Amino acid sequence: YVPMHSVSHENAINLLTGSIGDVRTQTPAYKQTKVKMELINVKGSKPLPLYNPRYAKRNPQLGVQVERKWNREDYDPIADLNITADRK
């Protein structure tokens, strides 16, 4: 971990990214930073507990399905609520 904003020269992110910067944003050019990746074939324990919501069963839906909301008995359209008594 290297902090973005550091007063210490040893902890500055620019030591990793180099001096090249984006001309428009005046930020380091992260997309041009070279990295070396090494594949590790070690099996370890899962970092999240099994009760974490990321392990929950997903129930994908097709779109927003707003019609289901409109068909509920307790649904009151906002347009109907905003009409004053003299305009009804």
What pLDDT, on the 0 to 100 scale, is given for residue 57?
92
| Domain extent for 4 | 1-33
pLDDT higher than 60, residue 86? no
17 within domain boundaries = yes
Is 51 a member of any domain? no
User: In the structure encoding, which two tokens stand for residue 27, read together?
Assistant: 């930020």
Does residue 62 form part of some domain? no
25 assigned to some structural domain: yes
Residue 30: left (phi > 0), alpha (psi -120 to 50), or beta?
A: alpha
| pTM greater than the 0.75 cutoff | no
* Residue 58, domain member (yes or no): no
pLDDT per residue over 7-32, tens digit each? 776 666 666 666 777 788 877 776 67
Q: Is 20 helix (H, G, I), strand (E, B) or coil?
A: coil
Q: Does 42 map to a domain?
A: no
Bridge-partner residues for 28, per DSSP?
Answer: 21
Instruction: Establish if 43 belongs to a structural domain.
Output: no
Task: Report the domain count for the chain.
Answer: 1
* Closest by Cα among 58, 61, 79, 60 to 70: 79
What digits encode the pLDDT tens for the residues 29-67? 766 777 788 888 888 888 899 999 999 999 898 899 899
